[in-house]
Protein backbone atom coordinates (compact mmCIF):
# COMPACT_ATOMS: atom_id res chain seq x y z
CA UNK A 1 0.00 0.00 0.00
CA UNK A 2 1.19 3.54 -0.76
CA UNK A 3 3.03 5.18 2.15
CA UNK A 4 3.64 1.93 4.04
CA UNK A 5 6.48 -0.58 4.40
CA UNK A 6 9.72 0.83 2.98
CA UNK A 7 7.74 3.96 2.07
CA UNK A 8 6.58 4.73 5.61
CA UNK A 9 9.38 7.27 6.10
CA UNK A 10 8.14 9.45 3.22
CA UNK A 11 4.90 10.37 5.00
CA UNK A 12 4.12 12.05 8.32
CA UNK A 13 0.54 11.83 9.50
CA UNK A 14 -1.47 12.32 6.33
CA UNK A 15 0.99 14.55 4.50
CA UNK A 16 3.77 13.28 2.26
CA UNK A 17 7.23 14.82 2.79
CA UNK A 18 9.50 16.33 0.16
CA UNK A 19 13.00 15.01 -0.57
CA UNK A 20 16.09 17.16 -0.26
CA UNK A 21 19.70 16.69 0.80
CA UNK A 22 19.17 12.93 1.08
CA UNK A 23 16.35 13.28 3.62
CA UNK A 24 12.56 13.29 3.74
CA UNK A 25 11.46 16.64 5.13
CA UNK A 26 8.51 18.72 6.22
CA UNK A 27 8.26 22.17 4.71
CA UNK A 28 8.80 25.13 7.01
CA UNK A 29 5.66 26.62 5.41
CA UNK A 30 3.55 24.30 7.57
CA UNK A 31 1.20 24.19 4.59
CA UNK A 32 0.20 21.39 2.28
CA UNK A 33 -1.29 20.99 -1.19
CA UNK A 34 -4.27 18.66 -1.59
CA UNK A 35 -4.43 16.10 -4.37
CA UNK A 36 -7.98 15.42 -5.51
CA UNK A 37 -8.86 11.91 -6.66
CA UNK A 38 -10.47 12.35 -10.13
CA UNK A 39 -12.90 9.50 -9.46
CA UNK A 40 -14.20 10.42 -6.00
CA UNK A 41 -13.46 14.15 -6.43
CA UNK A 42 -12.36 14.14 -2.78
CA UNK A 43 -8.91 14.83 -1.34
CA UNK A 44 -6.87 11.65 -1.64
CA UNK A 45 -3.39 12.77 -0.58
CA UNK A 46 -1.55 15.83 0.67
CA UNK A 47 1.99 16.95 -0.13
CA UNK A 48 4.25 19.68 1.25
CA UNK A 49 3.83 23.24 0.00
CA UNK A 50 7.54 24.04 -0.26
CA UNK A 51 8.86 27.58 -0.04
CA UNK A 52 11.21 29.56 -2.27
CA UNK A 53 13.83 29.35 0.49
CA UNK A 54 13.59 25.56 0.32
CA UNK A 55 14.04 25.73 -3.44
CA UNK A 56 17.21 27.78 -2.91
CA UNK A 57 18.60 25.14 -0.52
CA UNK A 58 17.79 22.33 -2.94
CA UNK A 59 19.63 24.16 -5.73
CA UNK A 60 22.69 24.68 -3.53
CA UNK A 61 22.92 21.02 -2.55
CA UNK A 62 22.25 19.91 -6.14
CA UNK A 63 25.19 22.02 -7.31
CA UNK A 64 27.56 20.57 -4.70
CA UNK A 65 26.39 16.97 -5.23
CA UNK A 66 26.83 17.26 -9.01
CA UNK A 67 30.52 18.11 -8.71
CA UNK A 68 31.41 14.81 -7.06
CA UNK A 69 28.87 12.83 -9.11
CA UNK A 70 30.60 14.00 -12.29
CA UNK A 71 33.79 12.38 -10.91
CA UNK A 72 32.02 9.10 -10.14
CA UNK A 73 33.06 6.46 -12.70
CA UNK A 74 30.53 5.92 -15.44
CA UNK A 75 30.21 2.21 -14.66
CA UNK A 76 29.34 3.07 -11.04
CA UNK A 77 26.66 5.53 -12.14
CA UNK A 78 25.23 2.80 -14.38
CA UNK A 79 25.35 0.26 -11.56
CA UNK A 80 23.31 2.54 -9.28
CA UNK A 81 20.76 3.19 -12.02
CA UNK A 82 20.31 -0.55 -12.57
CA UNK A 83 19.78 -0.94 -8.83
CA UNK A 84 17.16 1.84 -8.75
CA UNK A 85 15.37 0.22 -11.72
CA UNK A 86 15.19 -3.13 -9.91
CA UNK A 87 13.89 -1.52 -6.68
CA UNK A 88 11.30 0.45 -8.63
CA UNK A 89 9.98 -2.70 -10.30
CA UNK A 90 10.00 -4.58 -7.00
CA UNK A 91 7.73 -1.89 -5.52
CA UNK A 92 5.48 -1.43 -8.51
CA UNK A 93 2.26 -2.16 -6.57
CA UNK A 94 2.19 0.83 -4.17
CA UNK A 95 3.38 3.20 -6.92
CA UNK A 96 0.70 1.95 -9.31
CA UNK A 97 -1.87 2.34 -6.54
CA UNK A 98 -0.93 6.01 -6.22
CA UNK A 99 -1.32 6.44 -10.00
CA UNK A 100 -4.80 4.92 -9.84
CA UNK A 101 -5.86 7.24 -7.01
CA UNK A 102 -4.17 10.46 -8.19
CA UNK A 103 -4.71 10.39 -11.94
CA UNK A 104 -7.33 7.66 -12.40
CA UNK A 105 -5.04 5.59 -14.58
CA UNK A 106 -6.57 2.13 -15.21
CA UNK A 107 -4.99 -0.34 -12.77
CA UNK A 108 -3.15 -2.47 -15.35
CA UNK A 109 -1.83 0.57 -17.22
CA UNK A 110 -0.57 1.99 -13.92
CA UNK A 111 1.51 -1.15 -13.32
CA UNK A 112 2.74 -1.03 -16.92
CA UNK A 113 3.87 2.57 -16.43
CA UNK A 114 6.05 1.61 -13.47
CA UNK A 115 7.57 -1.45 -15.16
CA UNK A 116 8.24 0.56 -18.36
CA UNK A 117 9.95 3.16 -16.17
CA UNK A 118 12.27 0.57 -14.64
CA UNK A 119 13.17 -0.67 -18.13
CA UNK A 120 13.77 2.91 -19.26
CA UNK A 121 16.20 3.56 -16.36
CA UNK A 122 18.13 0.36 -17.16
CA UNK A 123 18.31 1.27 -20.84
CA UNK A 124 19.69 4.71 -19.90
CA UNK A 125 22.45 2.99 -17.93
CA UNK A 126 23.29 0.70 -20.87
CA UNK A 127 23.15 3.44 -23.48
CA UNK A 128 25.05 5.90 -21.33
CA UNK A 129 28.09 3.73 -20.73
CA UNK A 130 28.50 3.25 -24.46
CA UNK A 131 27.56 6.74 -25.68
CA UNK A 132 29.56 8.59 -23.04
CA UNK A 133 32.44 6.12 -23.16
CA UNK A 134 33.37 7.51 -26.57
CA UNK A 135 34.48 10.88 -27.84
CA UNK A 136 35.98 12.09 -31.10
CA UNK A 137 39.54 12.57 -32.36
CA UNK A 138 40.00 15.13 -35.14
CA UNK A 139 43.12 16.15 -37.05
CA UNK A 140 43.69 19.60 -38.49
CA UNK A 141 44.91 18.84 -42.03
CA UNK A 142 41.47 18.05 -43.36
CA UNK A 143 40.63 21.77 -43.36
CA UNK A 144 42.24 23.88 -46.13
CA UNK A 145 45.39 25.71 -45.17
CA UNK A 146 46.23 23.45 -42.22
CA UNK A 147 48.93 20.94 -41.68
CA UNK A 148 48.65 18.06 -39.25
CA UNK A 149 49.81 20.04 -36.24
CA UNK A 150 46.61 19.99 -34.20
CA UNK A 151 44.88 17.04 -32.58
CA UNK A 152 41.44 17.72 -31.20
CA UNK A 153 39.96 15.43 -28.51
CA UNK A 154 36.29 15.85 -27.71
CA UNK A 155 34.16 14.35 -24.96
CA UNK A 156 30.67 14.88 -23.57
CA UNK A 157 30.48 16.54 -20.19
CA UNK A 158 27.51 17.16 -17.87
CA UNK A 159 25.51 20.40 -17.92
CA UNK A 160 25.16 20.70 -14.13
CA UNK A 161 21.74 20.83 -12.49
CA UNK A 162 18.82 19.55 -14.58
CA UNK A 163 15.30 20.63 -13.64
CA UNK A 164 12.73 17.98 -14.61
CA UNK A 165 9.02 18.82 -14.82
CA UNK A 166 6.85 15.90 -15.94
CA UNK A 167 3.08 16.06 -16.59
CA UNK A 168 0.19 14.37 -14.79
CA UNK A 169 -0.48 11.72 -17.45
CA UNK A 170 2.79 9.79 -17.03
CA UNK A 171 4.18 11.29 -13.85
CA UNK A 172 6.54 8.40 -13.15
CA UNK A 173 7.53 7.43 -16.67
CA UNK A 174 8.06 10.96 -17.96
CA UNK A 175 9.98 11.80 -14.77
CA UNK A 176 12.41 8.91 -15.22
CA UNK A 177 12.73 9.72 -18.95
CA UNK A 178 14.45 12.88 -17.67
CA UNK A 179 16.10 11.52 -14.49
CA UNK A 180 17.79 8.52 -16.16
CA UNK A 181 19.57 10.46 -18.94
CA UNK A 182 20.46 13.33 -16.58
CA UNK A 183 22.08 11.10 -13.97
CA UNK A 184 23.99 8.78 -16.28
CA UNK A 185 25.43 11.88 -17.96
CA UNK A 186 26.78 13.15 -14.62
CA UNK A 187 24.18 15.81 -13.84
CA UNK A 188 22.26 16.30 -10.62
CA UNK A 189 18.51 16.47 -10.81
CA UNK A 190 15.73 18.50 -9.24
CA UNK A 191 12.26 17.10 -9.83
CA UNK A 192 9.11 19.21 -9.63
CA UNK A 193 6.30 16.68 -10.04
CA UNK A 194 2.82 17.64 -11.19
CA UNK A 195 0.44 18.03 -8.26
CA UNK A 196 -1.62 15.06 -9.48
CA UNK A 197 1.04 12.39 -9.74
CA UNK A 198 3.22 13.87 -7.00
CA UNK A 199 2.71 10.99 -4.57
CA UNK A 200 3.65 8.39 -7.21
CA UNK A 201 6.75 10.50 -7.99
CA UNK A 202 7.74 10.70 -4.31
CA UNK A 203 7.56 6.90 -4.08
CA UNK A 204 9.64 6.59 -7.25
CA UNK A 205 12.26 9.01 -5.88
CA UNK A 206 12.47 6.94 -2.70
CA UNK A 207 13.51 3.97 -4.85
CA UNK A 208 16.54 6.04 -5.94
CA UNK A 209 17.30 6.75 -2.29
CA UNK A 210 17.04 3.05 -1.44
CA UNK A 211 19.44 2.31 -4.29
CA UNK A 212 22.05 4.46 -2.53
CA UNK A 213 22.41 7.56 -4.70
CA UNK A 214 24.49 10.25 -2.96
CA UNK A 215 22.64 12.85 -0.94
CA UNK A 216 21.58 16.01 -2.72
CA UNK A 217 22.00 14.45 -6.17
CA UNK A 218 18.25 13.97 -6.59
CA UNK A 219 15.67 16.20 -4.95
CA UNK A 220 11.92 16.27 -5.25
CA UNK A 221 10.21 19.49 -4.37
CA UNK A 222 6.43 19.78 -4.20
CA UNK A 223 4.22 22.81 -3.94
CA UNK A 224 2.03 25.32 -5.65
CA UNK A 225 3.05 26.43 -9.14
CA UNK A 226 2.03 29.98 -8.22
CA UNK A 227 4.52 29.94 -5.32
CA UNK A 228 7.53 28.06 -6.66
CA UNK A 229 6.85 27.48 -10.41
CA UNK A 230 8.49 30.56 -11.94
CA UNK A 231 10.98 30.68 -9.09
CA UNK A 232 12.21 27.20 -10.06
CA UNK A 233 12.26 27.64 -13.82
CA UNK A 234 13.99 31.04 -13.63
CA UNK A 235 16.40 29.98 -10.88
CA UNK A 236 20.02 30.86 -11.72
CA UNK A 237 21.14 27.49 -10.35
CA UNK A 238 19.30 25.57 -13.10
CA UNK A 239 21.47 24.57 -16.08
CA UNK A 240 18.85 22.73 -18.16
CA UNK A 241 15.09 22.32 -18.15
CA UNK A 242 13.28 19.24 -19.41
CA UNK A 243 9.54 19.88 -19.40
CA UNK A 244 6.56 17.90 -20.64
CA UNK A 245 3.11 19.45 -20.43
CA UNK A 246 0.92 22.09 -21.97
CA UNK A 247 1.02 25.82 -22.72
CA UNK A 248 2.99 26.46 -19.53
CA UNK A 249 6.00 25.25 -21.50
CA UNK A 250 5.71 28.22 -23.87
CA UNK A 251 5.84 30.61 -20.90
CA UNK A 252 8.78 28.70 -19.39
CA UNK A 253 10.68 28.89 -22.69
CA UNK A 254 10.19 32.65 -22.85
CA UNK A 255 11.32 33.22 -19.28
CA UNK A 256 14.20 30.73 -19.06
CA UNK A 257 17.76 32.01 -19.27
CA UNK A 258 20.61 30.92 -21.57
CA UNK A 259 20.16 27.23 -20.89
CA UNK A 260 19.28 24.20 -23.03
CA UNK A 261 15.57 23.40 -23.08
CA UNK A 262 13.80 20.15 -23.87
CA UNK A 263 10.07 20.79 -24.28
CA UNK A 264 7.16 18.55 -25.23
CA UNK A 265 3.93 20.50 -25.25
CA UNK A 266 1.22 18.33 -26.73
CA UNK A 267 -0.19 17.64 -30.14
CA UNK A 268 -3.22 17.37 -32.38
CA UNK A 269 -2.12 14.14 -34.02
CA UNK A 270 -3.88 13.54 -37.31
CA UNK A 271 -4.80 10.11 -38.61
CA UNK A 272 -5.02 10.20 -42.43
CA UNK A 273 -6.94 7.27 -43.89
CA UNK A 274 -6.68 6.49 -47.62
CA UNK A 275 -9.17 4.55 -49.75
CA UNK A 276 -7.01 1.43 -49.88
CA UNK A 277 -6.44 1.22 -46.11
CA UNK A 278 -7.19 -1.92 -44.10
CA UNK A 279 -10.18 -0.45 -42.27
CA UNK A 280 -10.19 -3.09 -39.51
CA UNK A 281 -6.59 -2.20 -38.74
CA UNK A 282 -7.46 1.51 -38.82
CA UNK A 283 -10.43 1.06 -36.49
CA UNK A 284 -8.36 -0.96 -33.99
CA UNK A 285 -5.67 1.73 -34.02
CA UNK A 286 -8.17 4.55 -33.64
CA UNK A 287 -9.54 2.87 -30.52
CA UNK A 288 -6.07 2.27 -29.09
CA UNK A 289 -4.69 5.59 -30.26
CA UNK A 290 -7.69 7.77 -29.48
CA UNK A 291 -9.17 6.28 -26.33
CA UNK A 292 -6.27 4.73 -24.31
CA UNK A 293 -6.12 6.43 -20.93
CA UNK A 294 -9.27 8.25 -22.01
CA UNK A 295 -7.43 10.23 -24.68
CA UNK A 296 -5.14 11.91 -22.13
CA UNK A 297 -1.93 11.32 -24.09
CA UNK A 298 0.05 13.89 -26.05
CA UNK A 299 0.35 11.29 -28.80
CA UNK A 300 -3.33 10.33 -28.86
CA UNK A 301 -5.08 10.32 -32.24
CA UNK A 302 -6.88 13.66 -32.01
CA UNK A 303 -8.42 14.05 -35.45
CA UNK A 304 -9.35 11.48 -38.09
CA UNK A 305 -9.04 12.69 -41.69
CA UNK A 306 -10.69 10.03 -43.83
CA UNK A 307 -11.31 9.91 -47.58
CA UNK A 308 -15.07 10.34 -48.09
CA UNK A 309 -15.55 7.10 -50.06
CA UNK A 310 -14.51 4.92 -47.07
CA UNK A 311 -15.72 7.23 -44.29
CA UNK A 312 -19.11 5.53 -43.68
CA UNK A 313 -17.52 2.13 -43.46
CA UNK A 314 -14.75 3.32 -41.10
CA UNK A 315 -17.14 5.21 -38.83
CA UNK A 316 -19.33 2.08 -38.50
CA UNK A 317 -16.33 -0.06 -37.55
CA UNK A 318 -15.11 2.47 -34.97
CA UNK A 319 -18.62 2.87 -33.56
CA UNK A 320 -18.88 -0.89 -33.04
CA UNK A 321 -15.60 -0.88 -31.12
CA UNK A 322 -16.49 2.20 -29.06
CA UNK A 323 -19.63 0.35 -27.91
CA UNK A 324 -17.40 -2.33 -26.39
CA UNK A 325 -15.25 0.06 -24.33
CA UNK A 326 -15.83 -0.29 -20.60
CA UNK A 327 -16.48 2.93 -18.70
CA UNK A 328 -15.97 3.34 -14.95
CA UNK A 329 -13.44 3.54 -12.13
CA UNK A 330 -9.73 2.90 -12.70
CA UNK A 331 -9.70 0.34 -9.87
CA UNK A 332 -11.91 -1.88 -12.08
CA UNK A 333 -9.42 -1.46 -14.92
CA UNK A 334 -12.05 0.15 -17.14
CA UNK A 335 -10.97 1.40 -20.56
CA UNK A 336 -12.46 4.84 -20.00
CA UNK A 337 -11.89 6.38 -16.57
CA UNK A 338 -12.58 9.88 -15.19
CA UNK A 339 -10.48 12.64 -16.71
CA UNK A 340 -7.97 14.27 -14.41
CA UNK A 341 -10.00 17.21 -13.12
CA UNK A 342 -13.33 18.96 -13.22
CA UNK A 343 -11.83 21.84 -15.17
CA UNK A 344 -10.51 19.39 -17.76
CA UNK A 345 -13.96 17.76 -18.03
CA UNK A 346 -15.55 21.19 -18.42
CA UNK A 347 -13.10 22.10 -21.18
CA UNK A 348 -13.83 18.85 -23.06
CA UNK A 349 -17.55 19.47 -22.69
CA UNK A 350 -17.08 22.97 -24.11
CA UNK A 351 -15.51 21.51 -27.27
CA UNK A 352 -18.32 18.95 -27.58
CA UNK A 353 -21.06 21.58 -27.19
CA UNK A 354 -19.39 23.87 -29.74
CA UNK A 355 -19.34 20.98 -32.24
CA UNK A 356 -22.98 20.15 -31.45
CA UNK A 357 -24.10 23.71 -31.99
CA UNK A 358 -22.26 23.84 -35.32
CA UNK A 359 -23.83 20.63 -36.61
CA UNK A 360 -21.45 17.71 -35.96
CA UNK A 361 -23.00 14.23 -35.99
CA UNK A 362 -22.84 12.49 -32.61
CA UNK A 363 -22.16 8.77 -33.09
CA UNK A 364 -23.02 8.15 -29.44
CA UNK A 365 -25.05 10.08 -26.93
CA UNK A 366 -22.94 12.59 -24.98
CA UNK A 367 -22.82 11.45 -21.37
CA UNK A 368 -20.92 12.78 -18.37
CA UNK A 369 -21.02 12.02 -14.65
CA UNK A 370 -18.61 14.13 -12.60
CA UNK A 371 -15.22 13.82 -14.31
CA UNK A 372 -16.25 10.68 -16.17
CA UNK A 373 -17.01 11.30 -19.85
CA UNK A 374 -18.27 8.44 -22.01
CA UNK A 375 -16.31 7.86 -25.25
CA UNK A 376 -17.63 9.93 -28.12
CA UNK A 377 -16.98 9.93 -31.84
CA UNK A 378 -18.02 13.10 -33.65
CA UNK A 379 -18.61 12.69 -37.37
CA UNK A 380 -18.90 15.38 -40.08
CA UNK A 381 -16.71 17.77 -38.12
CA UNK A 382 -15.81 20.88 -40.11
CA UNK A 383 -12.84 23.24 -39.83
CA UNK A 384 -14.99 25.96 -38.23
CA UNK A 385 -15.47 23.79 -35.13
CA UNK A 386 -13.05 24.21 -32.23
CA UNK A 387 -12.57 20.46 -31.90
CA UNK A 388 -11.07 20.36 -35.39
CA UNK A 389 -8.04 22.23 -33.99
CA UNK A 390 -7.98 22.12 -30.19
CA UNK A 391 -6.61 19.28 -28.09
CA UNK A 392 -9.43 17.89 -25.89
CA UNK A 393 -7.21 15.57 -23.78
CA UNK A 394 -10.28 13.42 -23.27
CA UNK A 395 -12.22 10.52 -24.84
CA UNK A 396 -13.71 12.65 -27.59
CA UNK A 397 -12.61 12.16 -31.18
CA UNK A 398 -13.55 14.19 -34.29
CA UNK A 399 -13.86 12.76 -37.81
CA UNK A 400 -13.31 15.10 -40.76
CA UNK A 401 -14.26 13.70 -44.16
CA UNK A 402 -11.82 14.75 -46.88
CA UNK A 403 -12.07 14.79 -50.66
CA UNK A 404 -8.35 14.26 -51.29
CA UNK A 405 -5.11 13.35 -49.56
CA UNK A 406 -3.92 16.92 -50.15
CA UNK A 407 -6.86 18.19 -48.10
CA UNK A 408 -5.81 15.91 -45.24
CA UNK A 409 -2.19 17.02 -45.39
CA UNK A 410 -3.31 20.65 -45.52
CA UNK A 411 -5.43 20.23 -42.36
CA UNK A 412 -2.58 18.47 -40.57
CA UNK A 413 -0.09 21.19 -41.50
CA UNK A 414 -2.44 24.07 -40.70
CA UNK A 415 -2.37 23.01 -37.03
CA UNK A 416 -0.16 24.96 -34.65
CA UNK A 417 0.93 21.58 -33.30
CA UNK A 418 3.28 19.11 -34.97
CA UNK A 419 3.98 16.21 -32.62
CA UNK A 420 3.08 13.00 -34.47
CA UNK A 421 0.64 11.84 -37.10
CA UNK A 422 -0.23 8.63 -38.85
CA UNK A 423 -1.24 7.46 -42.29
CA UNK A 424 -3.05 4.26 -43.24
CA UNK A 425 -2.60 2.86 -46.74
CA UNK A 426 -1.33 -0.36 -48.34
CA UNK A 427 0.78 1.68 -50.77
CA UNK A 428 4.17 2.31 -49.16
CA UNK A 429 5.15 4.77 -51.89
CA UNK A 430 2.13 6.94 -51.16
CA UNK A 431 2.75 6.57 -47.42
CA UNK A 432 6.31 7.85 -47.78
CA UNK A 433 5.23 10.88 -49.82
CA UNK A 434 2.52 11.71 -47.27
CA UNK A 435 4.93 11.21 -44.36
CA UNK A 436 7.39 13.61 -45.97
CA UNK A 437 4.63 16.17 -46.52
CA UNK A 438 3.30 16.06 -42.94
CA UNK A 439 4.86 18.73 -40.73
CA UNK A 440 5.18 16.61 -37.59
CA UNK A 441 8.07 15.25 -35.55
CA UNK A 442 7.12 11.63 -36.34
CA UNK A 443 4.74 9.93 -38.77
CA UNK A 444 3.60 6.37 -38.08
CA UNK A 445 2.73 4.31 -41.12
CA UNK A 446 -0.15 1.89 -40.48
CA UNK A 447 -0.17 2.35 -36.71
CA UNK A 448 -1.36 4.90 -34.18
CA UNK A 449 1.05 7.56 -32.90
CA UNK A 450 3.11 6.57 -29.86
CA UNK A 451 6.24 7.75 -28.11
CA UNK A 452 7.69 4.30 -27.44
CA UNK A 453 9.75 2.20 -27.63
CA UNK A 454 11.47 4.66 -25.32
CA UNK A 455 14.80 4.72 -27.15
CA UNK A 456 13.16 6.00 -30.37
CA UNK A 457 13.58 9.72 -31.08
CA UNK A 458 10.54 11.67 -29.90
CA UNK A 459 10.09 15.29 -30.94
CA UNK A 460 7.55 17.88 -31.89
CA UNK A 461 7.79 20.82 -34.22
CA UNK A 462 5.95 24.17 -34.05
CA UNK A 463 4.09 24.54 -30.72
CA UNK A 464 4.64 20.86 -29.92
CA UNK A 465 8.08 21.43 -28.55
CA UNK A 466 11.78 22.07 -28.63
CA UNK A 467 14.46 19.44 -29.12
CA UNK A 468 14.23 15.68 -29.38
CA UNK A 469 13.73 13.11 -26.65
CA UNK A 470 14.15 9.36 -26.55
CA UNK A 471 16.93 7.90 -24.41
CA UNK A 472 19.90 8.55 -26.71
CA UNK A 473 18.81 12.05 -27.69
CA UNK A 474 18.08 12.97 -24.08
CA UNK A 475 21.52 11.84 -22.92
CA UNK A 476 23.10 13.90 -25.70
CA UNK A 477 20.90 16.89 -24.90
CA UNK A 478 21.89 16.78 -21.23
CA UNK A 479 25.59 17.04 -22.05
CA UNK A 480 27.81 19.55 -23.80
CA UNK A 481 30.91 18.97 -25.85
CA UNK A 482 34.31 19.79 -24.38
CA UNK A 483 37.38 19.88 -26.65
CA UNK A 484 41.06 19.75 -25.84
CA UNK A 485 43.43 20.62 -28.70
CA UNK A 486 47.00 19.39 -28.67
CA UNK A 487 49.24 21.75 -30.70
CA UNK A 488 52.38 20.20 -32.13
CA UNK A 489 55.47 22.19 -33.15
CA UNK A 490 55.77 20.24 -36.41
CA UNK A 491 53.30 18.25 -38.52
CA UNK A 492 53.07 14.62 -37.39
CA UNK A 493 51.70 11.71 -39.40
CA UNK A 494 51.14 8.36 -37.76
CA UNK A 495 53.68 5.86 -39.12
CA UNK A 496 54.64 8.62 -41.52
Least separation in angstroms between residue 69's CB and ligand G3P is 27
Query: How many binding residues for ligand G3P (CB under 6 A)?
Result: 8
Among 65, 450, 466, 475, binds ligand G3P (CB under 6 A): 450
Asked if 89 is part of the footprint of ligand G3P (rule: CB under 6 A), the reply reads no
Least separation in angstroms between residue 300's CB and ligand G3P is 8
In this complex, which beta carbon is closest to ligand G3P, that of residue 184 or of residue 419?
419
Asked if 299 is part of the footprint of ligand G3P (rule: CB under 6 A), the reply reads yes
Asked if 105 is part of the footprint of ligand G3P (rule: CB under 6 A), the reply reads no
Q: Of 19-27, 77-85, 295-303, 423-431, which part binds ligand G3P (CB under 6 A)?
A: 295-303
Asked if 297 is part of the footprint of ligand G3P (rule: CB under 6 A), the reply reads yes
Residues 113-152 as x/- pattern, contact with ligand G3P by CB under 6 A: ----------------------------------------
In this complex, which beta carbon is closest to ligand G3P, that of residue 186 or of residue 460?
460
Asked if 298 is part of the footprint of ligand G3P (rule: CB under 6 A), the reply reads yes
Which of 54, 102, 113, 264 is flagged as catalytic? Answer: 264
Asked if 262 is part of the footprint of ligand G3P (rule: CB under 6 A), the reply reads no
Positions in 340-399 near ligand G3P (CB under 6 A): none
Asked if 451 is part of the footprint of ligand G3P (rule: CB under 6 A), the reply reads yes
Q: How many residues belong to the chain? A: 496
Among 312, 452, 481, 482, binds ligand G3P (CB under 6 A): 452
Q: Of 90-98, 291-299, 421-429, 431-439, which part binds ligand G3P (CB under 6 A)?
A: 291-299
What is the C-alpha separation between 427 and 444, in angstroms, rounded? 14
In this complex, which beta carbon is closest to ligand G3P, that of residue 264 or of residue 379?
264
Asked if 302 is part of the footprint of ligand G3P (rule: CB under 6 A), the reply reads no
Least separation in angstroms between residue 450's CB and ligand G3P is 4
Asked if 286 is part of the footprint of ligand G3P (rule: CB under 6 A), the reply reads no
- 3-state secondary structure string, 371-407? CEECCEEEECCCCCCHHHCCCCCCCEEEEEEECCHHH
The yes-or-no answer on residue 264 being catalytic is yes
User: Which residues is 469 bridged to in the sheet?
Assistant: 458
Least separation in angstroms between residue 202's CB and ligand G3P is 20
Asked if 170 is part of the footprint of ligand G3P (rule: CB under 6 A), the reply reads yes
Which residues are identified as catalytic? 264
Q: Which spans of this chain sit near ligand G3P (rule: CB under 6 A)?
A: 169-170, 297-299, 450-452
Amino acid sequence: MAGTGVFSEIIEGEVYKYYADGEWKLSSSGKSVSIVNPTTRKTQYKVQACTQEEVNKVMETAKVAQKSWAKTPLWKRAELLHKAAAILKEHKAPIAEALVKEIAKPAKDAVTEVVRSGDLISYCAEEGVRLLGQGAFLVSDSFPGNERTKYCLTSKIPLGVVLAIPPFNYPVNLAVSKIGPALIAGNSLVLKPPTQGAVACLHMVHCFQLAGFPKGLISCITGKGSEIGDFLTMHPGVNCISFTGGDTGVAISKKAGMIPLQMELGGKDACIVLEDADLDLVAANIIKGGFSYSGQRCTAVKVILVIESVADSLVEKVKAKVAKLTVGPPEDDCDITPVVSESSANFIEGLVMDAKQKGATFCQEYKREGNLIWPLLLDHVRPDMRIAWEEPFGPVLPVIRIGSVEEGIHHCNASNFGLQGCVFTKDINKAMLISDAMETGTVQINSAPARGPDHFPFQGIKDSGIGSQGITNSINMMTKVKSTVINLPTPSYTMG
